[in-house]
Every structure is written in structure tokens, then in C-alpha cells.
Amino acid sequence: MLAKIFKLSHNIFMVRFTIITLFEDALRPYLETSMLWKAKEKGIVTYDFVNLRDFGLGPHKSVDDTPYGGGDGMLLRCEPVYAAIEFVKATSPDAEVILPTPVGQIWTQALARQFAGISTPDYSTDSIHNAITKNVIMKGQNESTFVLPSQEDRHYVILCPHYEGYDERILKIVDYKISLGNYILTGGELPALIIIDSINRLLPGVLGGDTSADIESFSNPSADNIEFPQYTKPYDFRGDKVPDILLSGNHGEIAKWRKEHTKTTKSC
């Protein structure tokens, strides 16, 4: 079952990501940049790594072998993967294991919200209109009325497969099988970063705006909404002007315009 959603309060929870990988150096630069770094500095998330090679077999610390039945490529062996996951769970028994794999459930914004423990906004009424209006009015004010969801701290372990694939028995120690789409990558490092990034930015205190995560693209899973068009300076760029309504100062009309211009993937 996905993580529970709790009642609202002003408590901040922490999410810990442990990445089991052979290529830690490929992950660190991205995790130490921009919002991911900001979340870590604020104590909202932590990142740590487990080198799968440390649990390899024999003098060469082997983690892979040829597939039974023949075929090209190498497969991750059970022993080092189980040993690495059990090493993490020895001190964090409630940690949940994520495996990026083509056989997994397609990763969506709705799933990212569930893993972040953030409830989906109510789109059954004009709540999105109200959220947009609030976002416009709140802009520039010093105080934030952002309400944080109270949660238990959570710990996700992301296993990054490599080579041709993995021994099928590894799936028995995995809690969530996640696919990013119908294509193949060299390893699980890029999917791990995408999963972490998409969860991270939803956590309270990471993004700047009160409703940033509520009114952006794909925030409404039933409509697959694409966020309304946005503009900044200059007003007139080579004859292409910003819609005058956005400069009107009429927050209600601006919110109405934005709601009307929110698209769905079906209409794109």
C-alpha cells in the first residue's frame, strides 16, 4: 500500500532516500543542485548511497552473471542485491524499496503526490479558481499561510539495476515497481533521479509558492491538466505582447483567464 495521508498540521516531516547503485558519482552532482540541494539544506530530505559493489561476490566483488538459458548481456545476481537491501533494513526496517523496471507501474504526478504524502487538490468545485486567486493575491507578501501535512518520516530505498537486467527473484524484495515509460535506459540512475526530483519538489517547504504544487501541470489526475500560459518581461517581444488581462491588476479576472486557459493533454 502507498504511504498514508495524514491530517493537516504545521509539522514538517522528513523523507530519506537511500540509493543502491554502482555509480554514485553519476548521481551526486544533480542531487547537490537547485531544489534538491535546497531540500537537503532545510532538513526536509536526506540522501545517502549504498555501493552495490561492496556486497559483491568473490575477489572481484562480482554483482552480475550470465543468464540461465543463454542470451546476451549480464544480469544482477540476487545475493548482492538482497545483502545491500538487508543492510539498509537492519537499521531502517520500515524502509520501502523502489525498483525502476519496464514491468512496473507508469510513474505519474498522482503517484508522486502519494509517495510524497500530499493529497490531490479538490477539482470538483471552483477550488482551483480559488487557489489561483490566492496565489495571485499572496504574491509579494512576506507571510505565508501554507498548511503543511503532518506525516511520519519515511524512507525510500531505490535500487538502480544495470547491465541487461536483474534476476527475477529480486522482485520479491521490492515494494514498488516503477516504469518511466515504454523505453529502455542503460541503468536505473536516471529513473532514480526523476523519482526523487518529482517527490522532492512536492514536499512542504521546498517550492516557494503556497499553491505551486497544486496548480501546475498534471496536478489534476482526472483531467491531465497542463498549466496555463505564463509570461514575464518584456511586455512586447518582437511584436508578441503579453495578454493585457495579466497587467490589469484584477485578480479575479486574472484567475478566471488562467482557469480558462488551463489545457488538458487530450486537447493538446
Domains and CATH numbers, the chain: 15-210 (3.40.1280.10), 223-268 (1.10.1270.20)
What nine digits make up the cell of 22? 554502482
pLDDT one digit per residue (tens) for the chain, 268 residues: 343 322 233 345 689 999 999 999 999 999 999 999 999 999 999 999 999 999 999 999 999 999 999 999 999 999 999 999 999 999 999 999 999 999 999 999 999 999 998 866 554 445 444 544 444 433 333 333 323 334 578 999 999 998 889 999 999 999 999 999 999 899 999 999 999 999 999 998 888 655 454 555 445 555 456 778 999 999 999 999 999 999 999 999 999 999 898 876 554 4
Question: What are φ and ψ of residue 109, in 5° steps?
Answer: -65, -35
* Predicted pLDDT of residue 164: 85
Burial class (CB within 10 angstroms; exposed 0-12, middle 13-18, buried 19+) of 5: middle
CB-based contact 87:160 (threshold 8 Å):
no
In 139-265, which residue ranges form alpha helices assigned H by DSSP? 189-200, 251-260
Q: What is the phi-psi region of residue 105: left when phi exceeds 0, alpha when psi lies from -120 to 50, beta otherwise? A: beta
Neighbours of 201 (CB within 10 A): 19
Cis status, amide bond into 29, omega within 30 of 0: no
3-state helix, strand, coil in the chain (%, to 5): 30, 20, 50
Query: E strands of 95-151, at which residues?
Result: 96-106
User: Residues in the chain, how many?
Assistant: 268
Q: How much is the pTM? A: 0.78
